[in-house]
A and B are shown apart, each in its own frame.
Chain A
C-alpha cells in the first residue's frame, strides 16, 4: 500500500513546471532555458520573444489546461459512477463533439470559432441526451447511476456511427479536416482560447473539488450514500454534468485527446490518494503534465511532421494500462 506524502504535491507541481519549461524551450527553433526566462520578461531577441510568448507559451498552457480538465473530469466520473473505466469520452462527450465538428466541416466552415463552437454544442447535446435517456431507461426518479453510464456509452456509440455515415459521403477535404480535428492538437493555441479554457476549468474544476466529499460518499454506492444523507441520483447527475462540461470545454479547445481522462486518475490512485478532493486536484496536475509532455513529443519526435496529440497520449496510455493489468494480475 502506497501512502501519499505531503511532499508529493511539490513533486507534481515541479514536474509540471519542469516539463512546461522544456516544452517552451524545445521545438523547430530551440531556445536555451536562460533565453526563455529572459523572453518571458520581455528581454532579448524580439524573434525569440515572439516565439516564446506568442507561439510556445499559449500552446503549452493550452495543453496543460486540456490535460488538467480531462484528468479532473475522469477522476470525478470514475468515483461518482463507481467505475474504473468511466471517462468523459466513453460517456458521449467526444462522440457528440465530433458530430458537431464533422457537421460544420461538411457544411464547408473551417473557421476556428465555428469548429470550436460546434464541438462544444455537440458534446453538450450528447451529454444532455445521455441524461435524458438514463431518465427514460430508469422510469422514474430513482434511477440507478449505472443506467447513466450505459446511456452515455450508447449515445457515444450512436454519435460514432453518425460520424461514419456523415463522412462516407463527404468530400476528401472535409474528411481530412475532420480526421485531423479528431486526432487532437494544441497547434491552434492562442491567448483568447487559453483564456476561456482557463476560466472554464477553474469554474468547473472548482465545482468538482467543492463536491468532492460528495463523490467520496457516492463511490460507496447508492444505499450507503442515502444513509449518509446524499441523494445519489441527483448528486451523481450533477457531478456527471459538471465533469462532462469540463471535458467538453477541453474538446472544443483541442479536439479529441484520448486516454488522459481514463489513465490519469489511476496514476493518482497509485500514488496513494483515495479521497476525491486531493484526487481530483492531483489528477488535474498529472493530466496537465502528461498532455504537455505528449504535445512536446508530438512536435519534436519527427520534425517537421507534427504527430497527432491524441495518438501520442493513447500511445503513452496503453502501455501504462498493460503494466497496471500485469501488476494487479
Chain B
C-alpha cells in the first residue's frame, strides 16, 4: 500500500510548488490512477516516492514507512517502479534485463540463486514475454519493450507497483493489452499506482482515479465520480462531453471540436 500524505514538492528554480498538499492512498488489490494535464505534478509524486525530489512537507509511505526512512534497497523491495523514460545505453538480453529486477534481493556477491531464476521466469510469464527472453532489447517493438519493463518490475516481487505513463507511443491494441495486464496484476493483490494522462483508459480500468491539476487534487474517487463533463472542462480548459463505453458502461470523455467561427 502506498500512502501519500499532504505532500508538497518543489524544484529549486520553479516559482510555485510542483505538488501542493496532495493526499491519497493506493490500496493493495486495487488499480489507482494518477491522472491530470501535463505539468500537473504526476511525475513529481513518482520522483518523491523514489527519493529523487525535494519534499518540502508531508510524506510518501510504502507499507507503513516513510520512504525517506528506508534505504534505497529496502524501498526497492517494497515498491517496483517503471519510470517514464528509460533508454538503455547498450542492448541487453531480455532475460538478463528482467533478472536485474532481482538486484535489490541479491546477496553480497550479487549472484542470482535458483530461486531468483524461478522468480524471473514467473515474471516473464506473467507479463507474457517468455518467448522474447532470448532476444536483445533493441530488437523489441514499443509494446514488447513496455511489457519487458513491466516484467523487470514484477521480478522485484514488491507488494506495490508504480508505472509512469507506460503506454505512451503505443497503438490501441498494445495500450489495451498493457491495461488489461495491470488490471489483472491489481486483482492478484498488488497495489498498482498508474500515472497516465489517458483518461478514457484509466476510467475503464482503474478502481480509483486521483485527478491532479496545478499540483493539487482537483477531484478523486471512482471513475463515475471523476468523469464529470463540467469539472473536466474547467481542468483541461477544453469543451468535452461524457459518453459511455458500450461494453462495460465505463464513462468516456470526448473532446469536442470548437465550432467554426466565420
Contacts and interface: CB of A to CB of B under 8 A. Distances in A.
A142 B11 CA distance: 12
Interface residues of A, number: 28
Interface stretch (A19-27, A77-85, A128-136, A242-250): A77-85
A237 interface: no
B229 to A, nearest CB: 36
Interface string A49-76: 0000000000000000000000000000
Contacts of B80: 227
Q: In the complex, which of the residues B87, B88, B89, B109 has the most CB atoms of chain A within 10 Å of its own CB atom?
A: B89
B32 to A, nearest CB: 18
A231 interface: yes
A221 interface: yes
A269 B88 CA distance: 14
B136 A1 contact: yes
Contacts of B139: 1
Contacts of B87: 221
A301 interface: no
Given A1-B139, A223-B52, A274-B96, A230 B72 contact: yes
Interface residues of B, number: 38
Interface stretch (A187-195, A209-217, A283-291, A313-321): A209-217
B169 interface: no
A159 to B, nearest CB: 26
Contacts of B51: 226
Contacts of B100: 216-217, 220, 228
Interface string B155-185: 0100000000000000000000000000000
Contact of B90 (A1, A219, A227): A219
Contacts of A231: 72
A13 interface: no
Contact of A1 (B101, B104, B135): B135
A303 interface: no
Nearest to B153: A227
Given A226-B51, A228-B100, A228-B103, A82 B89 contact: yes
A84 B87 CA distance: 13
B52 A84 contact: no
A274 B92 contact: yes
A214 B80 CA distance: 17
Contacts of A173: none
A253 B81 CA distance: 45
B242 interface: no
Nearest to B92: A274
Nearest to B53: A142
B73 A229 contact: yes
B90 A229 contact: no
Contacts of B47: 223
Contacts of B85: 221, 223
A274 B92 CA distance: 6
A132 to B, nearest CB: 21
Contacts of B106: 213
Interface in B81-109: 81-93, 96, 100-101, 103-104, 106, 109
Contacts of A230: 72, 103
Interface of A: 1, 78-79, 82-84, 142, 210, 212-214, 216-217, 219-224, 226-231, 269, 274-275
5 contacts: A83-B89, A227-B82, A229-B71, A274-B92, A275-B92
Given A83-B89, A214-B110, 13 more contacts: A84-B90, A212-B110, A216-B100, A221-B83, A221-B85, A221-B86, A222-B52, A223-B50, A223-B52, A227-B83, A228-B103, A229-B72, A230-B72
